[in-house]
Amino acid sequence: MERGAIALDSCPGGLDLRLTLESGQSYLWRREDDRMYEGDPGGRYYTIVDDEFVRVRQTDTTLEWESTTDAEPVLRELLRLDDDLDAIMAAGPDDPLLREAYAAHRGMRIVNDPSFPCLISFICSAQMRVSRIHGMQTTLAERFGDGMEIDGETYHTFPTPEQLASASVEALRECSLGYRAPYVRETAGMIASGDARPEDALGLAYEDARESLTRFVGVGPKVADCVLLFSLGYLEAVPLDTWLRSAIEEYFPECDRDSYRETSRAIRERLGDEYAGYAQTYVFHHLRTAGTVEAGE
DNA sequence: CCGTACCCTAGTTT
DNA sequence: AAAACTAGGGTAC
C-alpha cells in the first residue's frame, strides 16, 4: 500500500472529514469502528473507488491516506479539496442564518461521488433515514460486489450496473430495499445495456440536466438534484426534501411555491444561484443538528 | 398537476 | 412484555 498526507492548508477553507462524510451526502464510505451517524468523533474511513482501496484519517494539519494507488488526486476529486470555501461563502448572500451555518460547520465540503453508486444510493434514500440508507449500500456491496483482500481483510466493491441488473428483485428486496428494489434493478439495467448513463446530463443547463436524470426509474426531481450536486458537480442544485421544505416554510416563506420547480428557482435565487447547493447543505445540516440539541432538552 | 399506494424497520405508544 | 402504531432525505401510476 502507498501512503501519503495532504496538507490541509493546501485546501482553501480547510476540511472537516467527519462532517463531510457523515452529513448524508455520501453513502459510499465506511468508518473503521462502524459507528457512523452515532455522533462521536470519527476515526479512519475507507472506500473503494474504481477498484482502488482508499483509507483516510484526519489529523490537525493533514489528511493522511493509505491506498492501493496514489490517492492524493483521487481524494482531491472525491472530497472537492480544491473548492475555496471562503470564496464560496463570500459569493453568497449576506444572510444571518447562512453566515451562522457556515461558521458553525467550517470545513464541511460537498462530495463528488462516482455517479453510478451515487445514483443507486439516492434511489434507495426515498423515505429513509441516513443510517439505513448507508446500511443498504453496505449490504448491496457485500452481496453483489467483488471481494477485495487488503491486509488480510476482505472488503467489497460497490456493484457494477451489470451486477445489479442481473440480481433478482427478490434478492434486492432481501437487502431491505423494499419497493425500491425494482427501481434499482431497472435503473442498473438501463445503464448496463448502454441505453442511458448519468453522465448524459453533463453539459446540460441545470434544469435540463435534472430533467434528464429523471429518465431513470426511481428518480424524481429530488433524487436527481442529489446526483447533480453530489456527483456531477452542479453546485447550484438544491435537493428539496421534506426537511428543507419545512425550513423554507419557516425561514424563507417568500420562497415557498406550489411546484418543485418554482420553489427550487426561488430558493436558489435566495441562496445565491452559483453555489446554492453548498448553502443548502450548510443550512440543512445546521438546522438538523440544532434541532437535535433542542430535542434533547 | 394532483392524489394515493408503496416496502421496511427502529423507535414509540398502547 | 408483546403487539400495534408511526414516520422516515419520494416516486410511479
Side-chain half-sphere CA neighbours of A190 within 13 A: 20
A84, A62, A85: which is closest to A72 by C-alpha?
A62
Q: Which residues contact A236 (CB under 8 A, 6 or more apart)?
A: A206, A268, A273, A274, A275, A276, A277
Q: Is A259 inside a domain boundary?
A: no
Q: Give the per-residue pLDDT at A101.
A: 93
Q: Is A21 inside a domain boundary?
A: yes
Q: How far is the CA of A256 from the C1' of C6 (A)?
A: 27
Domain that holds residue A69: 1-80
- Cα–Cα distance for residue pair A111/A128, rounded to 1 Å: 20
Mean pLDDT of the residues in chain A: 94
**Which strand B bases fall within 7 angstroms of a protein CB?**
1-2, 6-10
Judge if the beta carbon of A259 is closer than 7 A to nucleic acid strand B.
Answer: yes
Q: Is A14 inside a domain boundary?
A: yes
- Cα–Cα distance for residue pair A162/A243, rounded to 1 Å: 34
Judge if the beta carbon of A168 is closer than 7 A to nucleic acid strand B.
Answer: no
Judge if the beta carbon of A219 is closer than 7 A to nucleic acid strand C.
Answer: yes
Instruction: Over range A250-256, report the average pLDDT.
Output: 93
Domains contained in chain A, number: 1
**Which strand C bases fall within 7 angstroms of a protein CB?**
8-12
Instruction: Measure the N-to-C terminal CA separation of chain A; round to a whole number of Å.
Output: 47
Summarised one tens digit per residue, pLDDT across range A52-90 is: 999 999 999 999 999 999 999 999 999 999 999 999 999
Q: Give the per-residue pLDDT at A40.
A: 86
Judge if the beta carbon of A257 is closer than 7 A to nucleic acid strand B.
Answer: no
Q: How far is the CA of A294 from the C1' of B14 (A)?
A: 27
Q: Give the per-residue pLDDT at A293.
A: 40
Q: Is A92 inside a domain boundary?
A: no
Map residue A163 onto helix, strand or coil. helix
Residues linked to residue A57 through DSSP beta bridges, in sequence order = A64
Higher pLDDT, A295 or A193: A193
Q: Give the per-residue pLDDT at A291.
A: 56
Q: How far is the CA of A240 from the C1' of B14 (A)?
A: 35
Map residue A100 onto helix, strand or coil. helix
> Are A234 and A277 in contact, with CB atoms under 8 Å apart?
yes
Instruction: Over range A127-150, report the average pLDDT.
Output: 96
CATH label of the domain that carries residue A19: 3.30.310.40
Q: Give the per-residue pLDDT at A292.
A: 46
Per the structure, the residue whose CA is closest to nucleotide C12 at C1' is A218
Summarised one tens digit per residue, pLDDT across range A263-296 is: 999 999 999 999 999 999 999 888 888 754 433 3
Dihedral of the CA atoms A280, A92, A257, A243 (nearest 10)? 20
Instruction: Over range A219-232, report the average pLDDT.
Output: 97
Judge if the beta carbon of A277 is closer than 7 A to nucleic acid strand C.
Answer: no
Q: Give the per-residue pLDDT at A79.
A: 98
Instruction: Over range A251-269, report the average pLDDT.
Output: 94
Nucleotide with minimal C1' distance from the CA of A186 is: C12
Q: Is A24 inside a domain boundary?
A: yes
Q: How far is the CA of A128 from the C1' of B9 (A)?
A: 10
Q: How far is the CA of A7 from the C1' of B6 (A)?
A: 48
Q: Which of A55, A222, A270, A285 is catalytic?
A: A222
Instruction: Over range A215-222, report the average pLDDT.
Output: 97
Q: Give the per-residue pLDDT at A287.
A: 85
Q: Give the per-residue pLDDT at A284.
A: 87
Q: Is A48 inside a domain boundary?
A: yes
Q: Is A43 inside a domain boundary?
A: yes
- Cα–Cα distance for residue pair A21/A79, rounded to 1 Å: 9
Q: Give the per-residue pLDDT at A289.
A: 80
Least confident of A120-124, A209-213, A292-296: A292-296
Q: Which residues contact A22 (CB under 8 A, 6 or more apart)?
A: A36, A37, A42
Judge whether A222 counts as a catalytic residue: yes
Q: Is A296 inside a domain boundary?
A: no
Instruction: Over range A116-140, report the average pLDDT.
Output: 96
